[in-house]
Chains A and B, each alone.
Chain A
Amino acid sequence: MTAHMLHIDHLGHRYGVGPPVLADIQLTVPDGQLVTLVGPSGCGKSTLLRCVAGLTRPAEGRVTLDGEPVDRVPDRLGVVFQDYSRSLFPWLTVRDNVSLPLRRQGLGRARRHEEAALMLEQVGLAGTGKQHPWQLSGGMQQRVALARALAARPALLLMDEPFGALDAQTREDLEDLLLRLHREGGLTVLFVTHDIDESVYVGDRVVVLAPGPGHVRADLPVELPPVRDQIATRALPEFTELRAEVGRAVRPAGTATP
Chain B
Amino acid sequence: MKRGEALLGCAGAAGAFAVCETLSRTGLVPSADLPPASEVLARAVELGGQAAFLDGVAATLQAWAGGLGLACALAVPLGLLLGSVPAANTAARVLIEFLRPVPSVALIPLVSLLLGSGTATTVTLVTYAAVWPILFNTVYGMGETDPVAKDTLRAFGFGRFAVVLRVALPSAAPFIAAGIRISAATALILAVATEILAGFGEGLGIFVAQAGTATDGTRDVLAGVVWAGLLGLVINSLLVGAERRLFPWTPDHRARRA
Q: Is the CB of A87 within 8 A of B157?
A: no
Least Cβ–Cβ distance between A86 and chain B, in angstroms? 4
| Chain B residue at minimum C-beta to C-beta distance from A132 | B249
**Which of these, A77, A83, A86, contacts B155 with CB under 8 Å?**
A77
- Whether the Cβ atoms of A73 and B157 lie closer than 8 Å is yes
- Asked if A239 is an interface residue, CB under 8 A from chain B, the answer is no
Tell me whether A104 is interfacial, beta carbon within 8 Å.
yes
* Residues from chain B with Cβ under 8 Å of A100 in the complex: 153, 156, 166
As a 0/1 sequence over residues 122 to 156 of chain B, the CB contacts with chain A under 8 angstroms (1 = contact) are 00000000000000000000000010110111111
Tell me if B167 is interfacial: C-beta within 8 Å of chain A. Answer: yes
Knowing A132-B248, A134-B249 are in contact, say whether A79-B152 is a contact too (CB < 8 A): yes
Q: How far is the CA of A55 from the CA of B171 in the complex (A)?
A: 21
- Chain B interface SS verdict (over half): helix
A86-B146 contact in complex given A91-B170, A91-B249, A134-B249, C-beta closer than 8 Å: yes
Q: For the complex formed, measure the closest distance between the CB of B35 and the CB atoms of chain A, giving whole angstroms.
A: 50
A63 CB, min distance to chain B CBs, angstroms? 14
Which residues does chain B contribute within 8 Å of A104, judged by CB atoms? 156-158
- Report A-chain residues with C-beta under 8 Å of the C-beta of B247: 91
* Alpha-carbon distance between A104 and B154 when the two chains are bound, in angstroms: 11
- A77 to B157, Cβ gap below 8 A? yes
Tell whether, in the assembled complex, residue B155 and residue A79 are in contact, meaning their CB atoms are under 8 Å apart.
yes
Closest CB in chain A relative to B141 CB, distance in Å: 13
Cβ of A75: which chain B residues have Cβ within 8 Å of it?
157
Q: In residues 208-248 of chain A, which contact B (Cβ within 8 Å)?
A: none
CB-CB under 8 A from B158, the residues of chain A are 104
Q: Is the CB of A73 within 8 A of B248?
A: no
Query: B173 an interface residue at 8 Å Cβ cutoff?
Result: yes
Q: How far is the CA of A74 from the CA of B151 in the complex (A)?
A: 13
Q: B148 touches which one: A73, A77, A86 (CB < 8 A)? A: A86
Give the residue among A55, A83, A90 with the most B Cβ atoms within 10 A.
A90
Partner of A83, one of B148, B157, B173, B254: B148
Interchain CB contact under 8 A, B249 and A90 = yes
Q: In the complex, A53→B170 CA distance in Å? A: 25
CB distance from B176 to the nearest CB of A (A): 13
List, in ascending order, chain B residues with CB within 8 A of A83's CB. 148
Q: B148 contacts A87, CB within 8 Å?
A: yes
Q: A89-B149, A91-B173, A134-B254 are in contact. Are A55 and B154 (CB under 8 A)?
A: yes
Bound-state CA distance A90–B166 (Å) is 12
A85 smallest CB distance to B (angstroms) = 9
For the complex, is A81 an interface residue (Cβ under 8 Å from B)? yes
For residue A90, which residues in chain B have a CB less than 8 angstroms away from its CB? 249
A56 CB → nearest B CB, Å: 10
Contact between B156 and A101, CB atoms less than 8 A apart = yes
B-side contacts of A86, CB under 8 Å: 146, 148-149
> Whole-angstrom distance from the CB of B33 to the nearest CB of chain A?
53
Q: A89, B167: Cβ atoms under 8 Å? A: yes
State which residues 65-114 of A face B: CB under 8 Å.
73-75, 77, 79, 81, 83, 86-87, 89-91, 100-101, 104
Q: 3 closest A-B pairs (Cβ-Cβ)?
A: A90-B249, A79-B155, A86-B148
Q: What is A's interface to B at a CB cutoff of 8 Å?
A: 53, 55, 73-75, 77, 79, 81, 83, 86-87, 89-91, 100-101, 104, 132, 134, 152, 158
Name 30 interchain pairs, CB-CB below 8 A, sorted by A: A55-B154, A73-B156, A73-B157, A74-B157, A77-B156, A79-B151, A79-B155, A81-B148, A81-B151, A81-B152, A86-B146, A86-B148, A86-B149, A87-B148, A89-B149, A89-B166, A89-B167, A89-B170, A91-B170, A91-B171, A91-B173, A100-B153, A100-B156, A100-B166, A101-B156, A101-B157, A104-B156, A132-B248, A132-B249, A134-B254
